[in-house]
């Protein structure tokens, strides 16, 4: 695709918006701590998200220890097990993945990729991080309150979430809901910035259809988050009122410990609707940035333009729109009308079409490409495999008749870990290995990276592939100890032990990654400005790491899309987005 509507520099439209003066830090505090620079905020978001993510990783170890060797670890009782699964799920989905993709990658990449000096409102952007940090601290505090964190499961379904049988009923659930409300407030401040920056602050020559797919993914996910988080906000407020004031929004008349409770007349199903109206888009809030990152990684490291760019963009938008009308497929066993089940199964399966378009386009991008098996590329390939794997089991669970017997089994756990656990984490790692040189100016160590990749990828399969089988056997999820059960053969217990050992190994491999990140910061190979030979705008900054204001004196002017790789006749195998066509023909390169 030769996309050069402006054949001379003079043909570029004039700047519509004058330069906005940036906030210039005057002290160490405003430069590195209370920084209004999106790049610093991105690093703050990433470090915070990964720190709380490490807590969730340790929780997954404890859960696997209990599942693999029941009865051996006496310090894990049933209540604690429930608390571990709740906190693991909530942290991983919201406080790690959402925050890392949108707050971390979004903050770093959006201004650079759209050729802006910063987000449009840096001060609000800074507040977003600090409110997020507060949310994380409130969440972490639940480990220390009397009764410990809530054990209601990450879905927090009432009525059990606030009844006395559930661990963390005293304080844990209150802190959890408060933390979610804070997170949503903080996210909204950041999210508004990301959306307005993409729509209104692009540089000259950069049309929406020339944006790298990473920006499209993060942008669409942010729009979705701004429309989906309100449902979680409302659900959290109402559940908090049920717990604190004794209202009965979600609480039916019920008997607790032989006593009639003070509640009555509420609808638990209402909570499920609100929760999943947020919860399903949330899956794609995590997946769409991953789609975008993977598209860019594959294109750069296969030295080929992305196949079907426009279809990729429309697929992202279509997935984003469709994901708002599928939420009740999480509620097939709630007793809904069969016609609703039919409707939601149909919409769910329709999502397979744009998703399949994306997968085919990734494969066709790779086809006859000059594939460099760098660490980011390995992670990108692993993403495609795990995502297809999780997507296929999604077709099982999207159908009512297949879902009902599989509901609440390990099959569901295996499915969502493959599709929105392992796959997005692969994209996160691929993205970090890819953009780390831009953030720090140094490469991550390749050998350690390959070790980290192979252990993580194969290990993830060792954990979650057998889990599908356990689910088909009927092994339920959220059970502390399965015990002697007729339909679970003895071999299943051996399999559980095997998976637990794999989980421990994968967990330790992440320490190698952390070591690599810290060690390479000081000892890594100097990267230079553009180590991968990438065409998109973030690699064309005058300084690496990019300085305050990103672009030096002049904002870049964009002449082409972000995927001009291996253009016939060009001197290099990539043409940067900001390279004018005139310069090309002067070098005798571009026709």
How far is the C-alpha of 403 from the C-alpha of 407, rounded, in Å? 6
Q: Which two tokens stand for residue 559?
A: 């002449």
Residue closer to another protein, measured from CB, 246 or 588: 246
Q: In angstroms, what is the minimal distance from the CB of 569 to another protein?
A: 26
What is the largest distance, in Å, between two alpha-carbon atoms of the chain? 87
Q: Which is nearer to another protein, 252 or 476 (CB)?
A: 252
Q: Residue 408 class from Cβ within 10 Å (0-12 exposed, 13-18 middle, 19+ buried)?
A: middle
State which residue, 200 or 491, has the beta carbon closest to another protein.
Answer: 200
Nearer to another protein, 476 or 549 (CB): 549
Nearest to 71, CA basis, from 504, 484, 491: 484
260 binds another protein (CB under 8 A): no
Nearest CA among 223, 188, 20 for reference residue 111: 20
146 lies in the binding site for another protein (CB under 8 A): no
CB of 98 to another protein, least distance (A): 15
Q: Is cis: bond before 522, omega within 30 of 0?
A: no
Residues in the interface with another protein (CB under 8 A) total: 57
Cβ closest to another protein, residue 256 vs residue 494? 256
Q: Does 482 bind another protein (CB under 8 A)?
A: no
The one among 38, 120, 152, 382 contacting another protein by CB under 8 A:
120
Classify residue 157 by burial, with Cβ atoms within 10 Å: 0-12, 13-18, 19+.
Answer: middle
CA 238/CA 229 separation, integer angstroms: 14
Binding mask 275-314 toward another protein (x if CB under 8 A, else -) reads --x-------------------------------------
Q: How far is CA 504 from the centre of its chain?
A: 23
Question: Which residues neighbour 478 within 8 Å (Cβ) at sequence distance 6 or greater?
Answer: 82, 85, 153, 408
By CB under 8 A, tell whether 102 contacts another protein.
Answer: no
Residues 535 to 564 in contact with another protein, rule: CB under 8 A: 558
Nearest in space to 7 (alpha carbons), one of 559, 557, 555: 559
- Applying CB under 8 A, the span of 199-207, 414-422, 521-529, 542-550 interacting with another protein comes to 199-207
Three-point CA angle 478, 482, 483, nearest 5°: 160
Q: Would you count residue 107 as binding another protein (CB under 8 A)?
A: no
* Local structure of 1: helix, strand or coil: coil
By CB under 8 A, tell whether 414 contacts another protein: no
Residue from 9, 137, 199, 514 in contact with another protein (CB under 8 A)? 199
The one among 134, 226, 402, 501 contacting another protein by CB under 8 A? 226
Any idea which residue has 């259809």 for tokens?
Answer: 209
| Residue ranges binding another protein (CB under 8 A) | 13-18, 20-21, 23-24, 36, 120-123, 188, 191-193, 195-196, 199-209, 226-227, 229-231, 233-235, 237-238, 241, 245-249, 262, 264-267, 270, 274, 277, 558
């Amino acid at each position: 695709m030769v996309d050069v509507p402006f054949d001379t520099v003079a043909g570029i439209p004039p700047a519509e918006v004058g330069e906005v003066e940036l906030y210039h830090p005057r002290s160490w505090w405003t430069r590195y701590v209370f920084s209004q620079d999106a790049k610093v905020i991105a690093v703050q978001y990433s470090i915070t998200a990964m720190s709380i993510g490490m807590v969730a990783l340790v929780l997954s170890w404890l859960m696997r220890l209990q599942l693999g060797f029941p009865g051996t670890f006496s310090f894990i009782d049933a209540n604690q097990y429930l608390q571990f699964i709740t906190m693991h799920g909530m942290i991983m989905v919201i406080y790690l993945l959402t925050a890392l993709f949108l707050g971390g990658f979004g903050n770093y990449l959006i201004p650079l990729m759209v050729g802006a000096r910063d987000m449009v409102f840096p001060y609000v952007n800074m507040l977003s991080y600090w409110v997020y940090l507060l949310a994380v601290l409130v969440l972490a505090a639940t480990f220390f309150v009397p009764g410990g964190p809530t054990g209601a499961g990450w879905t927090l379904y009432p009525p059990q979430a606030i009844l006395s049988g559930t661990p963390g009923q005293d304080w844990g659930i209150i802190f959890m809901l408060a933390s979610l409300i804070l997170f949503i407030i903080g996210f909204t401040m950041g999210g508004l910035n990301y959306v307005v920056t993409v729509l209104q602050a692009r540089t000259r020559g950069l049309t929406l259809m020339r944006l790298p797919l990473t920006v499209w993914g993060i942008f669409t996910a942010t729009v979705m988050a701004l429309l989906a988080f309100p449902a979680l906000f409302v659900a959290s407020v109402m559940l908090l009122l049920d717990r604190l004031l004794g209202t009965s929004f979600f609480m039916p008349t019920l008997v607790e410990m032989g006593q009639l409770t003070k509640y009555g007349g509420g609808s638990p199903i209402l909570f499920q609707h609100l929760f999943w109206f947020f919860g399903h888009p949330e899956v794609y809030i995590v997946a769409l940035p991953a789609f975008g990152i993977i598209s860019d990684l594959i294109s750069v490291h296969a030295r080929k333009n992305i196949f079907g760019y426009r279809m990729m963009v429309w697929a992202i938008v279509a997935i984003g729109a469709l994901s708002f009308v599928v939420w009740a497929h999480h509620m097939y066993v709630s007793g809904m009308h069969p016609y609703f089940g039919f409707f939601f199964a149909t919409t769910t399966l329709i999502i397979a079409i744009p998703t399949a378009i994306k997968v085919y386009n990734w494969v066709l991008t790779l086809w006859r490409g000059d594939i460099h098996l760098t660490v980011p590329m390995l992670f990108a390939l692993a993403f495609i495999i795990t995502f297809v794997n999780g997507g296929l089991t999604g077709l099982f669970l999207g159908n009512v008749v297949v879902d009902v017997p599989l509901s609440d089994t390990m099959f569901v756990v295996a499915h969502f870990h493959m599709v929105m656990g392992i796959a997005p984490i692969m994209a996160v790692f691929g993205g970090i290995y890819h953009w780390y040189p831009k953030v720090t100016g140094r490469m991550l160590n390749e050998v350690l990276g390959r070790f980290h990749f192979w252990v993580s990828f194969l290990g993830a399969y060792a954990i979650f592939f057998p889990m599908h089988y356990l689910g088909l056997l009927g092994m339920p999820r959220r059970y502390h100890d399965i015990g002697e059960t007729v339909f679970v053969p003895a071999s299943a217990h051996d399999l559980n032990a095997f998976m637990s050992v794999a989980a421990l190994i994968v967990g330790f491999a992440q320490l190698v990654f952390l070591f690599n990140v810290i060690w390479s910061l000081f000892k890594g190979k100097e990267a230079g400005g553009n180590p991968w030979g990438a065409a998109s705008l973030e690699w064309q900054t005058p300084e690496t790491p990019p300085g305050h204001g990103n672009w030096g004196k002049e904002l870049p002017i964009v002449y082409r899309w972000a995927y001009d790789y291996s253009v016939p006749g060009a001197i290099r195998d990539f043409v940067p987005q900001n390279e004018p066509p005139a310069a090309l023909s002067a070098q005798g390169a571009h026709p």
